[in-house]
């Protein structure tokens, strides 16, 4: 069975729902900090070992962290995974005017400078 992103989002709502997992339901943003650190480090290790099978698994574990934090935030009335995705989409489009706008960047170095300039401008707002 092929799953979709909404299937994963729903899975986290179920895990933290009334009939969900006691461990998952107990978690908070703060209690998950160490898990996020560990999963991020495990992904870094897999990348450094050039181990694509392990990278695939560890990317899933990092995504698990993103979805869990988004579910907790939704329950707290703060934001949803849709808000996270919209924020990322907006940021990528804003910081890449050399792709989505009329700014020119012919080299990776120029593109990085455009990114840094746009990041600085967004923080000045």
The predicted-structure confidence for 11-68, as pLDDT tens digits, reads as follows 999 999 999 999 999 999 999 999 999 999 999 999 999 999 999 999 999 999 999 9
pTM, to two decimals: 0.91
Rounded Cα gap, residues 123 and 125, in angstroms: 5
Reduce the DSSP state of residue 114 to 3 states and report it: helix
Rounded Cα gap, residues 75 and 103, in angstroms: 40
Structural domain spans, the chain: 1-79, 80-125
CATH architecture of 1-79: Orthogonal Bundle (1.10)
Q: Is 71 exposed, middle or buried (0-12, 13-18, 19+ CB in 10 A)?
A: buried
């Amino acid at each position: 069975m092929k799953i979709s992103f909404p299937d994963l989002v729903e899975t986290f709502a179920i895990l933290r729902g009334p009939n969900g997992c006691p461990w998952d339901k107990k978690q908070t943003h703060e209690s998950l900090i160490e898990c996020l650190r560990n999963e991020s480090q495990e992904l870094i290790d897999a990348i450094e070992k050039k181990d694509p099978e392990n990278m695939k698994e560890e990317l899933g574990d990092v995504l698990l962290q993103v979805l869990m934090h988004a579910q907790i935030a939704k329950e707290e009335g703060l934001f949803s995974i849709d808000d996270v995705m919209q924020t990322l989409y907006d940021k990528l489009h804003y910081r890449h005017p050399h792709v989505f706008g009329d700014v020119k960047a012919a080299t990776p170095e120029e593109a990085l400078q455009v990114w840094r300039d746009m990041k600085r401008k967004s923080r000045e707002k």
